[in-house]
Amino acid sequence: AMQMDGLIYALEGAGKQWQLRRTIAEIGRKKYTLIAKNIENKPGLQQAGEITIQRRALPLVNVAEISVKSKTVYAGEQFVIKARTNAAADRVSVEIEGEHFWMEGAGTEWIYLATLDRIGISRYAVTAINADGNAGPIKEDRITLVKRPAVAVSVAELEVNPTKGYAGQTFTFKAATDRSAEQVELVLAGKRYKMKGEDRQWLLALSVGEVGSQEIEIIATNKDGMEGRPEKGILVVEAHPVKVADLQVTPRTLYTGDDLLIQVVTDRPAKSVSLQMGGLTYDMIGSDKQWQLEKRERVAGQKKFTVIARNIENKPGPPKPGTITVKQLATRVPAVTAVSVSSALVFVGQQFAIEAQTNIPADSVRLAIDGKMHIMGGSGTSWHYTTSVDKPGEVNFRVSARNKEGRESKPKASSVTIARKIAETIRVAKLELNPSKGYTGRQFTFKAETDEPANSVFLIVGGNRYEMKGSGKNWRLTQKILKPGELQVNAIAINEAGDEGAVKTALLNVLERVIAEYKCNKDGTVTNNQTGQTRSRFADNGDGTITDLCTDLMWLKQPKRVAVNWREAREFCKELNTKKYKGWRLPTLKEMNKLIDKRQKDPALPLRHPFSEVHTYKPYWTKTDSRPPLYVYQMDLSRGRRQSASKRRNANVWPVRYTQ
């Protein structure tokens, strides 16, 4: 028998097997006691127990259909989401952009009036809830939000004052638009400058320091950020002419044979300063604003000279005249008796010596060749000068001797014939491989340096021939190598005649990629394929970087905190140099998908991840293009969903690089 709620119930059965069937209407816990009697009807030990009675759960309500009038709507415009359930629902919820809203309606028909301001693809999910408060399966769909077409603003007039000026000068740019503009910008040398103004009139005063003719553009933007037709123009910026501010001649009293020192100070840094005197041009020695020329005057008389400074564009400034007076000391003047050239055959650029003999010892001997005056070396009656000529043909020269007073003899004229230089082979002096050891499929960089300027340089790697890029003595090639093994690298330089020089050889060790070291598990761990040991998929390198053992990628432990546009994000990655790691870039959409865990929220990253300050209020840039043009994919880490956005919008940056 069973005793419960003060009542006794007889069980049915025989032998050792007994049972009781009863319907209980009350909900809650019920205590009971079981008592068995023997054949003498004597009771045995009591057995106590407890049962719990619950109400039977109502069936879940499914969302049978969801719809919107149009799959494409304008951002900021209201649209209606309709839902129909397979049975009467107590309530219906719709999730839009991560927020939940209650729909209006009753029974099986429900609606919600929504508005979204952003542009792109937006998903929404509808869930029905029964009278027990239990939610049924989620029904999802999506809509596309587009910007309402706007009228572009074009620049109707552009005025630059002055149109031609000097570096560092302030130029005024005026622009008039064909309709009211939200913003107008000046594009100069690849940079954008915001102009001041409103409606249709805009102005900008800008100091320009770069020298040369530069194209300018004025671009107007409407209130929706759409750029209109630009107006273009040309701005000419010249370097300031360099003037000779001060001129000093030492000594003031000059006699034939004395050394003359002319010192010049310019009003601003000069590229070069020269002195013209007696039909010859002398290059002065110096830099910046300080220049000088030392020469010995042999001929008496009054001599006029002109000093001219040139700016960075090699344009001459105003000439600075001067006069020196050389007084005569009467002594015998030596005469040049013989002139000879050291070699009968002289090539372009080849060094050759001009030798001269005088009848009596001379104080100095001067050589005028190729429009310049040179002092020959030697003493007594034997003199010489070594020089070279850079162009072929007959070159005339004159040699004259002077005594200690500076009195000069009549020059002796001669000539030398310069032949074209026979092209010599060019040798690769230095060959660098970076890295010299790596895996197949990666990029290797090869640098070659030649002993003389080359016309071209070729590289042979593992039997494949590649043309290197560069000029002069420096050449470079970046190439993906797919062939494994210890490969011989040969660099060959070619001269202007097309002749190949000696081969420079190096060895490149290309390793074949092995099977992945780790197997990735769904719980955020990895298993070593060789040892079978399990560990976290993320390795903290202790230097602000995290290595993902699942993908062999290295991430910054803390993403960039300030949101920027796509171009700025790409440049930030290129210039990043953390703990000597290079090669940072934006991740691909595929790499982002491998990093996230959609089962997690805010952020959608695997449990126990080591990253810090991963903000989710804005999405993260990827380098994967989407549609329309100038749009790329972003990753929303609040829910782990991708979305498409214009490159001009701002988003977070999370740099990544290959570990190898």
Distance CA 487, CA 421 (A): 38
Residue 127 CA to residue 107 CA, distance in Å, equals: 14
End-to-end CA distance of the chain: give it in Å, rounded.
Answer: 78
pLDDT digits (tens, 9 = 90+) for 453-493: 999 999 999 888 999 999 999 999 999 888 888 889 999 99
Q: Which H or E run contains 592?
A: helix 589-595
Q: What is the largest CA-CA distance in the chain?
A: 169
How do strand 91-96 and strand 99-102 relate by DSSP bridges?
A: antiparallel
Least confident of 177-191, 246-260, 480-494, 541-555: 246-260
Report residue 579's pLDDT band, with 50, 70 and 90 as the boundaries: low
pLDDT bin (cut points 50, 70, 90) of residue 331 is: low
pLDDT at 391: 85
- Helix (H) or strand (E) run with residue 198 in it: strand 196-198
**Phi, psi for residue 303 in degrees, rounded to 5:** -125, 130
d(CA 446, CA 250): 56
The confidence band for 203, taking pLDDT boundaries of 50, 70 and 90, is: very high
Residue 149 to residue 129: CA distance in whole angstroms: 40
Under DSSP, is residue 89 helix (H, G, I), strand (E, B) or coil? strand
Q: Considering only residues 298 and 88, tell me which one the structure prediction assigns the higher pLDDT.
A: 88
Question: How many whole angstroms separate alpha carbon 195 and alpha carbon 179?
Answer: 16
The closest of 211, 373, 238 to 316, measured between CA atoms, is: 238
pLDDT at 168: 86
pLDDT given at position 422: 63
| Residue 158 near residue 229, CB atoms below 8 Å | no
Q: What is the pLDDT of residue 423?
A: 64
pLDDT at 513: 61
Q: Where residue 515 falls among pLDDT bands split at 50, 70, 90? A: very low
Whether 33 contacts 52, CB under 8 Å = no
CA distance to 84, 585, 652, per residue, from 573 (Å): 49, 5, 12
Does pLDDT of 618 surpass 90? Answer: yes
Contact 5, 24 (CB under 8 A): no
Average of per-residue pLDDT values in the chain:
89
How far is the C-alpha of 135 from the C-alpha of 61, rounded, in Å?
A: 7
Most confident among 336-350, 404-418, 628-642 (mean pLDDT): 628-642
**pLDDT-derived band of residue 419, with 50, 70 and 90 as boundaries?**
confident
Rounded Cα distance between 650 and 615, Å, is: 14
The answer to whether the beta carbons of residues 354 and 336 sit under 8 Å apart is no
Domains (range + CATH), the chain: 2-27+35-46 (no CATH), 63-146 (2.60.40.10), 155-238 (2.60.40.10), 244-327 (2.60.40.10), 336-419 (2.60.40.10), 428-511 (2.60.40.10), 520-658 (3.10.100.10)
Residue 442 has pLDDT above 90, yes or no: no
At 84, the pLDDT band (50, 70, 90 cuts) reads very high
Three-class secondary structure of residue 375 per DSSP: strand
For residues 276 and 519, which has the higher predicted lDDT (pLDDT)? 276
Q: Output the pLDDT for position 259.
A: 85
Which amino acid type is present at position 437? K
Segment 62-71 mean pLDDT? 92
> How many other CB atoms are there within 10 angstroms of residue 232's CB atom?
12
Q: Is the pLDDT of residue 52 over 90?
A: no
Q: How far apart are CA 263 and CA 560, in angstroms?
A: 57
Write the burial class of residue 374 (CB in 10 Å: 0-12 exposed, 13-18 middle, 19+ buried). middle
C-alpha 460/C-alpha 188 separation (Å) is 43
What average pLDDT score do residues 577-587 get?
85
Amino acid at 271: K
Work out the number of other CB atoms within 10 angstroms of the CB of residue 346.
20
For residue 180, pLDDT over 80 is answered with yes
- Average pLDDT (358-368) is 92
- Cα–Cα distance measured from residue 620 to residue 596, given in angstroms and rounded to the nearest whole number: 12
What percent of the chain lies above the pLDDT cut of 70?
A: 98
Q: Are 489 and 459 in contact (CB under 8 A)?
A: yes
**Residue closest to 318 by CA, chosen among 326, 330, 308, 327:** 308
Radius of gyration for the alpha carbons in the chain, expressed in angstroms and rounded: 45
Looking at 139-143, 255-259, 592-596, which range is the least confident one? 255-259
Q: What pLDDT does residue 283 have?
A: 94
Distance CA 618, CA 628 (A): 21
pLDDT for res 354: 93
* Confidence at 430, pLDDT banded by 50, 70, 90: very high
HSE toward the beta carbon, residue 623, CA cutoff 13 A: 16
Can you give the pLDDT at residue 329? 61
43-47, 52-56, 557-561, 619-623, range with greatest mean pLDDT: 619-623
Alpha helices, DSSP H, located in 387-465: none
CB-based burial label for 564 (10 Å; 0-12, 13-18, 19+) = middle
**β-pairing verdict for 196-198 and 17-19:** unpaired
